[in-house]
């Protein structure tokens, strides 16, 4: 279980001669165990915010505190360790390593932990079972469908049992049926395993799965009605 707090966060990018500010003085709190959905048009800064939460980017101003840790204060090496222990990242594209089997792709994050081979095997099997792809463990990514690849990516995100799962438009490249399967999987992780989930999407159907929704536009956050609330 992990809670998140953004306090006055600003992030700028330089693109040629232009300075873009996707996030400006943004503050936000996400409670532990939330299925938080962030909506917004393309280029609104959703992925930027997600990257800050996942500790793969740093803010230019403000603080990002996840699970009580001020991420800005961690040096690069410790930040990497922190990521491996606390965050599972699901990308829009599965981003699997093409030369590794589904099993090996899921196993990747566990390489960073001192762990016996048997324990790694147990965890990878559990993760693949959770996404319903244990029988596809020996398949290479090119032998899987898009939906199956994304489920393997989710297995990779949960195999180290991180308390926070961030998902950047995880159904963006999937057909309706596959998208439903992935969203159901994320909901189950939230409900059954108590994972805090932060998902970026611009798909209203995907957003409906969240327990809390916010809109990001022009660098500002707008609280939306929680999904399912009349």
Partner 1 sequence: MKLARLIAKNLKRRPMRTLLTLLGVASAMLLFVLVESLSAGLDRAMGGTEAARTLVVYRQNRYCPQTSFLPESYVERIRKIPGVVSALPVKVFLNNCRASLDLVTFQGAPAEELLRARPVQVLEGDAARFVRDADAALVGRAFAARKGLRVGDSFRFGNITVKVAGIFSSAEPVEEDVVMTHLEFLQRAGPVNRLGTVTQFEVKIDDAARAKEIAAAIDDQFRTAQEPTDTRAKLAFLESATRDLREILGFARWLGIGCVAVVLALVANTVLMSSQERVREFGVFRTLGFREQHIAFLVLGEALILALGGSALGLGAAQLIVETSHVSIGSEGVSVGFRIVPALALRVALVAGAAGALAGLYPALRSASRPVVAALREA
Longest distance between any two alpha carbons in the chain, whole Å: 54
Q: If binding is defined by CB under 8 A, does position 215 make contact with partner 1?
A: no
Q: How far is the CB of 100 from partner 1 (least distance, A)?
A: 7
d(CA 155, CA 130): 7
Copy the structure tokens of residue 8.
Answer: 């006055």
Site track for partner 1 across 85-114, x = CB under 8 A? x---x-x---x-xxxx-------xx-xx--
Gap between the Cα atoms of 182 and 30, Å rounded: 22
The one segment of 63-71, 72-80, 176-184, 196-204 that binds partner 1 by CB under 8 A:
72-80
Which lies closer to partner 1 via its Cβ, residue 111 or residue 184?
A: 111
**DSSP letter (8 states) at residue 59:** -
Among 16, 68, 75, 77, binds partner 1 (CB under 8 A): 77
Site for partner 1 in 1-40 (CB under 8 A): none
CA atoms within 13 A on the CB side of 179: 17
6: tokens are: 């953004």
In the bound state with partner 1, the residue whose beta carbon lies nearer, of 3 and 84, is 84
Q: What are phi and psi of 76, to 5 degrees?
A: -55, -45
Q: Cβ of residue 152: shortest distance to partner 1, in angstroms? A: 13
Which of 14, 42, 76, 229 touches partner 1 (CB under 8 A)?
76
- DSSP bridge partners of 13: 20
When asked if residue 81 is in the footprint of partner 1 (CB under 8 A), the reply is yes
The Cα 111–Cα 160 span in angstroms is 10
**Segment near partner 1 (CB under 8 A); pick from 28-36, 37-45, 82-90, 187-195:** 82-90
Buried b (16+ CB within 10 A) or exposed e, 172-191: bbbeeebbbbbbebbeebbe
Residue showing tokens 């609104």: 44
Q: Pick the piece of the chain touching partner 1 (CB under 8 A) from 59-67, 83-91, 171-179, 181-189.
A: 83-91
The answer to whether residue 115 forms part of the interface with partner 1 (CB under 8 A) is: no
Round the CA-based radius of gyration of the chain to a whole number and report it.
17
# chain residues binding partner 1, by CB under 8 A: 23
Question: Which positions touch partner 1 (CB under 8 A)?
Answer: 51, 54, 56-57, 76-77, 80-81, 83-85, 89, 91, 95, 97-100, 108-109, 111-112, 156
């Amino acid at each position: 279980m992990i809670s998140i707090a953004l306090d006055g966060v600003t992030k700028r990018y330089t693109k040629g001669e232009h300075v873009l500010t996707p996030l400006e003085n943004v503050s936000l709190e996400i409670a532990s165990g939330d299925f938080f959905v962030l909506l917004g048009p393309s280029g609104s800064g959703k992925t930027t915010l997600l990257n800050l939460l996942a500790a793969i980017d740093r803010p230019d101003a403000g603080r990002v505190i996840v699970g009580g840790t001020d991420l800005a204060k961690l040096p690069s090496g410790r930040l990497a360790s922190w990521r491996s222990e606390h965050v599972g990242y699901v990308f829009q594209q599965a981003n699997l390593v093409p030369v590794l089997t589904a099993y090996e792709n899921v196993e990747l994050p566990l390489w960073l932990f001192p762990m016996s081979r048997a324990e790694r095997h147990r965890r990878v099997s559990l993760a693949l079972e959770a996404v319903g792809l244990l029988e596809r463990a020996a398949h290479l990514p090119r032998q899987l469908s898009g939906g199956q690849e994304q489920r393997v990516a989710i297995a990779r995100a949960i195999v180290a049992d991180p308390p926070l799962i961030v998902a950047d438009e995880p159904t963006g490249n999937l057909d309706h049926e596959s998208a439903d399967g992935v969203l159901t999987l994320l909901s189950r992780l939230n409900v059954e395993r108590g994972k805090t989930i932060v998902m970026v999407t611009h798909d209203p159907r995907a957003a409906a799965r969240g327990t809390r929704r916010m809109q990001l536009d022009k660098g500002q956050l707008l609280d939306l009605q929680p999904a399912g609330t009349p």
